[in-house]
Amino acid sequence: MNTPNLQALQQRLDAGEAEAVLAECRQLLQEQPEQPVVLLLAANACIRIKAWEPACGYLQPLLEQQPMNQALRQNLSQCWNNHARQCLQDGQDKAAEKAFRQAVQIWPQNVDAGFNYGLLAVKQHQPAIARQLFATCVQLKPDYADACLELARLDAAEGRLQSLRQCLAQLAKLPLETGQSRQLALLQLQAGQAAEGRQRLRALFEVEGGSFAQACQAAFSHDVVYRDHAHLHKEAESLADGLAWLAGQKPRVKDWTDLAWSHFFRAYQGVDHLPAYRAYGKQLQQALAALPSTPLATPPVRERPRVLMVSSFFRDCTVGHYFSSWVDGLVQRGFEVQLLQLGPQQDAFTDSLFGQASSGFVVPDIAALQQHMESAQPDLLLFPELGMDARLFPLAARRWAPVQLVAWGHPETTGLELDGFISCAEMEPEDAQAHYSEPLLLLPGLGTAYTPAEAISGLTRADFHLPEGVPLVLLPHALFKIHPDCDALWAQVAEQVPEAQFVLFEDPAPLTTPLFLERLYQKIPAARIRVFRNLPRGHYLALNGLCDLMLDSLHFSAGNTALDAISAGLPMVTLPGAYMRGRQTAFMLRRLGLEEWIAKNQEDYVQKAVDLLQQAEQREAVRQTLLRNQPRLFQDEAPLDALAAVLQQCLAGKA
């Protein structure tokens, strides 16, 4: 074809006749394949009409003819990238993957294609491929914030603490858009950099505004694993600073989801937060005023008082098992018990509890829960815990029933003006009421008729890949519960019993475990620490029976894990704290006739632990006492009688 005709085709293409030009080019290529100018015209025509795959088909032979033409290589790579994006829009992920791969193979410097391919790899659960792609993007373009953020997300999800810190440091140096800055802040909160995350979130909120819950996140977020005492105290003190900052904001409150916040993790700081919690309660009440409310209707007269129990933990978990005896126990003692399980989680244990209750409902969200609570018209509303689910906490600040109570499923005051906090008399210190905004309502014993689970029989240390003939120390606590005070004491035990090994469990949050181990390894060598993933309950209980000693955590003692140890006959040493949450194990040992293993101070704690680890006969004596005296603790009906009496007294007081 002569040059004037090619020029005419180019002019027609420039005039917008892309489809007609493409048709003529196809005819010309049938007559004389691989004409460079015609191939280029055809490719450009395809690009004009966004026919990316055919464009690639025309550009590929051109590149084979001109392999050193970098502009051509880049254009072909970008066409494959665009074709891949089009495939994604059409739901063709496999075709998109193939096209992205072509794009980065043809021109590895195509960071857009590499980034998009990385996003697809994340979607396809291929983190290794995604990591390589995002890392290449950042290497080629160090200021590529989105790629660096995606790499940081992968690091956070996989618990790669050191790599994450490098990404966060790089991101902190870049000029970021609002959304990118918020993502960085959220990653900082996960990575043990809460002070930086708070500062960034507050700056964003002051410009952009947001919901009450978002304001609380900016005000109160804190690290949950502490590097040392100084770090812990700084994070504890941030609560007061957050209250002052929040008071100066005007957050949005459109519905209940805008209020979802709790101070759950602050209970593990070993500090009395009551004054600050009261102040927060007042701020929450002010925020609640923005939501519509209806006057509380007087419940109808009933033959059996209606107790509405509300939680998202009526399922196979610690709270569900711990308070399960309350359901049937109250029904048997003359109450109508209705359960509301806030979804989405539910399981077979939920169904079993519903079978014991007078009625039970799983509700999908807070709006549905609110409707159920209003229509139920309960005589008494009972939360087994408040704080573990941030969605539920603000509900407790509004009146739904003549009597509203909370129990110690999360053993710390709410700071709200509820009608009572149900706790265990023998676990509370003498000055207990001074630490609660709610009137204390005390039950005997464990407060429940607790039935221990059964271990899997016949397992040995070999089944858990644990060594025979060495002392095994069980540290079963959630890692965020472990106060820095524990580290030095456990290190002293490790030093005095050099053959001992320590058994811990990973936290579900990917970064909590590396953050904690980074601290603990400074005190105890990594070679002496065995870290398990979550075990099935029967296997976990069997592991208890294979260990030699459980060391209790300080300031927030074991609860359900102590009961598991007792059921397995595992000796324990504890040092009671100042508040109920640090005194649960001490009560259990006292009730079982093993008060001598309740330490008087930190030195005594270490000495008792060393004594038990070094004296097998003494350990066996303690084990036998634990097993023999279990009836003093388990399946005790007295707490249920006391609970029924407490509820009746509360109802009578409101009559």
- Token look-up 């005296």 returns 629
For position 104, what pLDDT does the model report?
97
State the Cα–Cα distance between residues 265 and 222, nearest whole angstrom.
8
- The side-by-side arrangement of strands in the sheet containing 549-551 is 529-532, 501-505, 472-474, 549-551, 572-573
In sequence order, what E strands does 425-557 have? 440-443, 472-474, 501-505, 529-532, 549-551
Q: pLDDT tens digit string along 39-93? A: 999 999 999 999 999 999 999 999 999 999 999 999 999 999 999 999 999 999 9
pLDDT band at 2 (very low <50, low <70, confident <90, very high): low
Interaxial angle between packed helices 93-106 and 111-123, expressed in degrees from 0 to 180 and rounded to the nearest 10? 150
Mean predicted confidence (pLDDT) in 170-194: 97
Mean predicted confidence (pLDDT) in 141-167: 97
Alpha helices of 424-570 — where are they, by DSSP H?
Answer: 484-496, 512-520, 537-546, 560-568
Q: pLDDT at residue 38 above 60? A: yes
3-172 homologous superfamily: Tetratricopeptide repeat domain (1.25.40.10)
* CATH classification number, 306-443, choose in 3.30.230.70, 3.50.50.60, 3.40.50.11380, 3.30.2350.10: 3.40.50.11380
Q: DSSP letter at 315?
A: S
Q: pLDDT at residue 3 above 60? A: no
For position 655, what pLDDT does the model report?
56
Q: Could you tell me the CA-to-CA distances from 235 to 110, 192, 193, 195, 478 in Å, in that order?
A: 43, 11, 11, 8, 19
Q: pLDDT at residue 654 above 80? A: no
Mean predicted confidence (pLDDT) in 182-198: 98
pLDDT band at 250 (very low <50, low <70, confident <90, very high): very high
Q: pLDDT at residue 26 above 60? A: yes
State the Cα–Cα distance between residues 399 and 294, nearest whole angstrom.
10
Interaxial angle between packed helices 194-208 and 212-220, expressed in degrees from 0 to 180 and rounded to the nearest 10? 150
Q: pLDDT tens digit string along 472-501? A: 999 999 999 999 999 999 999 999 999 999
pLDDT band at 422 (very low <50, low <70, confident <90, very high): very high
Q: How does the average pLDDT of the chain come out, rounded?
A: 96
Domain boundaries, the chain: 3-172, 192-288, 306-443, 462-632
Q: What is the CATH number that goes with domain 462-632?
A: 3.40.50.2000
pLDDT band at 454 (very low <50, low <70, confident <90, very high): confident
Between 5 and 237, name the one with better pLDDT: 237
Do the domains at 3-172 and 462-632 have one common CATH topology?
Answer: no
Mean predicted confidence (pLDDT) in 418-428: 98
For position 341, what pLDDT does the model report?
98
pLDDT band at 294 (very low <50, low <70, confident <90, very high): confident
